[in-house]
Amino acid sequence: MTVLDVQNLEAVYGPIKALRGVSLQVAQGQIVTVLGPNGAGKTTLLKTLSGLLDPRRGTVLLEGQAIGGQDPVDIVRRGLVQVPEGREVFPLLTVRQNLLMGAYTRRDRDAVARDLEQAHAYFPILKERADQPAGLLSGGQQQMLAIARALMAAPRMLMLDEPSLGLSPKLTQEIFAIIRRINQERGTPILLVEQNAHLALHLADQAYILENGRVVLEGPCESLRQRPDIQEFYLGVH
Ligand code: ATP
């Protein structure tokens, strides 16, 4: 079943055409990655899907319902939740308060409490640091907090923007392992924008390569990894 169906999405910043007709699908249980050079439109794609930017044209269906151009809060309520680039945790709030902010659209207090337990199970460090200001966490811990906060919104689908940005290879591996666990254990489909093509093409099921606001290549990661052009430009194999 298709969870997210994007057709011919266009987005602009004034005169700049950042998305020029992007179509993309994410099926239930899948991890789909979007790769591409700087300025290709990856962040713009996630922003448009999250409702932070209005599409100029095109349709976005989440579980069959049109969400294109809706308010970001309504999109989160419907279950499409983004982990933003650069984490954007609230530095002066405690780790626990940050996590509870993720659940601000929810009224089901018992389920929120259960999800807090589950977030702590994925990221034990966040339980240890529950009462500390989030600003004191390391970069990797803040990334964990941002992912855990997104889980607190009870997502039906997650979107991650460059979760490896600024992290050591070891921490990046850890974060990727947790993304895989979340996908496998909760069945949550994931749309992953990533600069580390090597890791992303090993984690994800399907990939879309974006260049200049357009999808120039798409397919199963397994077959894209074999392509000489992908190996040369994205995987550094010569
Ligand atoms: P990166 O890997 O550098 O984050 P990206 O693939 O996410 O790149 P976007 O940030 O989506 O690319 O940018 C797509 C295009 O839109 C680029 O040409 C960029 O310069 C432009 N752009 C992005 N944000 C803005 C903005 N706020 N105002 C004007 N132009 C923007």
Ligand 1 centre and the CA of 15: distance in Å? 13
Would the CB of 42 count as within 6 Å of ligand 1?
yes
Closest alpha carbon to 205 in 186, 227, 183, 185: 183
Q: Give the pLDDT confidence of 95-146 residue by residue, as tens digits.
A: 999 999 999 888 898 999 999 999 999 999 999 999 999 999 999 999 999 9
- The residue whose C-alpha atom lies closest to atom 14 belonging to ligand 1 is 41
pLDDT at res. 118 = 92
Whole-angstrom distance, CA of residue 20 vs CA of residue 93? 39
Q: Mean pLDDT across the stretch 20-37?
A: 97
Write the ipTM.
Answer: 0.94
Ligand 1 centre and the CA of 16: distance in Å? 9
Beta-sheet strands, E only, within the chain: 2-13, 16-27, 31-35, 57-62, 65-66, 80-83, 157-161, 190-193, 206-211, 214-220
